[in-house]
Structure 1
């Protein structure tokens, strides 16, 4: 990859890491599901008026929006709201790579490589370490919500893969348009109309800045640049950069939020990252 694209990849994964800290800030200022709804509303509008409709079927576009926008961020926002550290969630959510492999095998018939199976086992061992450390307290439920969010992300990856050769920027923007309404309805059910109305009728500059960061640099810019990198370079060259997302996530969580991660969580996180490294690793075949 040329230096320009390497720097772009580094910028994107840094933004995606900081995203977890900003989500934590958003759920302290707004009801958690409403924060996700506003994120995708502004990520879709007004961009949807300038981006042509994707050539993929509407079933796939809606499926992607429900999985990536609605399910993933409803679960992730709620898990962080209920106490999942932003820094740790940036690590745990990366098990979406494992769910993607399993779902690709189940629905697309893609057989994983042996090294991917080994990496999945190592990463799941890391999940088990973190899960056991939280099994006796209320912190287990937010942790399980994060795992469920990772599963939703894996499902969204399968849907986007089934979309085939389509404009992924258009696919993402129009998929974003699907998420705000069901997220808003869920927020009305969980938080109540009064809480939603109060939050919407008293906006602040802090809230506006938080939602703008989540909608534009993180969602629109990040996915647009990432799609371009995947189009110009082999996935094996681009995918390993995602291993840096937890690095940025943990650093921003500690620096901005003052979070402290327990030693057992760090041990589990190291296992997860090592397993993910094995999953994306490829060795050249001998002649």
Structure 2
């Protein structure tokens, strides 16, 4: 993964980024992803789920491609291609379609809270596939997080629409699951390939997977106002091209579970943005469910005490 400097300097000196850089990358990602929940909710009147996913990934792939190709062609192995195709179809395809459809039925803040079960799922998958330790706290956190999801589901279904809202909750959970799986697959990839190349290839694959929605996208884009078309461009450039790249960069320098847990900051940012730009907030009891889910995340990330003095776990 790393190269040795000709001057004979230690590898760590030539490759380690400033400590603030991964943190800045995560912060950029969180703000842009929070804005995406609001933009998707806003665009629900003009674009259906599939066409919006295609428009977003096409624009993201074009922007990323211009940047990635200026740095040369990536050379993924056959095994890398399997992971890239899986990530592209799941994270950039299924995730977007499910989330877009889910936000037709639940507000942006509720959708953001539902996605936050993913850090617990990531920790669980990391324990299974990345040899991170499975603890009793992880099991308890998983139970608490999904109890929170159940509260959110019951709250939204009792407001109006009943089954429509429950379907929205289920679709947001599908997004959380495929996001978690994709992050685990991406962690080994960014150890071998650049974050920019991984994001570009996966986004391009996701756009190809969404191509069946092209006729509907052309039809809906023709009827949409200019402001909505600009919002689609925004989704493709910033929450997709920029945010996914900064997230992949941060993943190179943080553990999967540590990075995954940072996304619990997205719901409060989304709720504030939703109030300012959409004049909507989640139902009151949904906050209880969201808080319960976040407590579950915190419990899942707790480290068991060891009897002997040990090195602290990396952040």
Q: Please, what TM-score do these two structures have when normalized by structure 2?
A: 0.79
Select 1:77's aligned residue among 100, 104, 110: 100
State the 1:233 CA deviation. 4.8
Deviations 1:90-113 (A, max 9, x none): 110111223333444555565422
Q: Structure 1 pair 109/6, CA: closer, same or farther in 2 (3 Å)?
A: closer
1:275 alignment partner in structure 2: 296
1:161 lines up with 2:182 in the alignment = no
Q: Please, what TM-score do these two structures have when normalized by structure 1?
A: 0.86
* In 2, Cα distance between equivalents of 1:2 and 1:101: 23
1:41 alignment partner in structure 2: 58
* In 1, Cα distance between equivalents of 2:157 and 2:144: 20
Question: Does the Cα contact within 8 Å between 1:61 and 1:175 map onto a contact in 2?
Answer: yes
Q: Structure 1 pair 54/268, CA: closer, same or farther in 2 (3 Å)?
A: farther
1:171 alignment partner in structure 2: 198
State the 1:22 CA deviation. 0.6
1:32 lines up with 2:53 in the alignment = no
Pick which of 46-55 and 211-220 moved more. 46-55
| 5+ residue gaps, structure 2 | 1-17, 310-315
* In 1, Cα distance between equivalents of 2:66 and 2:259: 30
* In 2, Cα distance between equivalents of 1:162 and 1:232: 12
Select 2:171's aligned residue among 145, 152, 169: 145
Q: State the structure with more CA Rg.
A: 2
Question: Does the Cα contact within 8 Å between 1:33 and 1:184 map onto a contact in 2?
Answer: no
Question: Does the Cα contact within 8 Å between 1:53 and 1:174 map onto a contact in 2?
Answer: no
Deviations 1:40-87 (A, max 9, x none): 111111432542325252111111100101111110001112x11111
Q: Greater relative contact order: 1 or 2 (C-alpha under 8 angstroms, separation 6 or more)?
A: 1
* In 1, Cα distance between equivalents of 2:205 and 2:259: 28
State the 1:234 CA deviation. 5.5
* In 2, Cα distance between equivalents of 1:101 and 1:233: 13
- The size of the alignment, in residue pairs, is 280
Q: How much is the aligned-residue C-alpha RMSD, in angstroms?
A: 2.6
* In 2, Cα distance between equivalents of 1:146 and 1:233: 26
1:66 lines up with 2:92 in the alignment = no
